[in-house]
């Protein structure tokens, strides 16, 4: 919370010629209470429902140890080595 700067990296691929990804650089702000214990928060209904359906058998659970962050991008960098023609 002292320093909201953040970098998020998502990449995929096995060999060099298959590597691709994106880096998002920006600022993170918390959404909902910290840690998340389940207080009603309209902004989190959709992401918590989607998370529960995908990873938790249809129901999102609160463990009192995690928080949601919203990343506001200031810069994005992407790469796709499969387009390099090798």
Q: What is the 3-state secondary structure (H, E, C) of 19-81?
A: CEEEEEEEEEEEECCCCCCCCCCHHHHHHHHHHHHHHCCCCCCCCCCCCEEEEEEEEEEEEEH
pLDDT (tens digit per residue) in 4-58: 999 999 999 999 889 999 999 999 999 999 999 999 999 999 999 999 999 999 9
Q: What pLDDT is recorded for position 66?
A: 94
Predicted pLDDT of residue 71: 96
- Closest by Cα among 31, 24, 33 to 5: 24
Q: What is the pLDDT of residue 85?
A: 72
Residue 85, helix vs strand vs coil: coil
Average pLDDT over residues 71-85: 92
Q: Where are the domains of the chain?
A: 1-30+69-86, 33-66
pLDDT-derived band at 82, boundaries 50, 70, 90: confident
């Amino acid at each position: 919370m002292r320093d909201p700067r953040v970098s998020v990296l998502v990449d995929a691929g096995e060999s060099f010629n298959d590597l691709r990804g994106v880096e998002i650089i920006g600022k993170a702000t918390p959404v909902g209470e910290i840690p998340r214990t389940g207080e009603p928060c309209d902004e989190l209904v959709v992401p918590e429902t989607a998370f529960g359906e995908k990873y938790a058998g249809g129901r999102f659970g609160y463990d009192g140890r995690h928080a949601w962050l919203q990343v506001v991008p200031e810069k994005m960098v992407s790469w796709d080595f499969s387009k390099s023609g090798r």
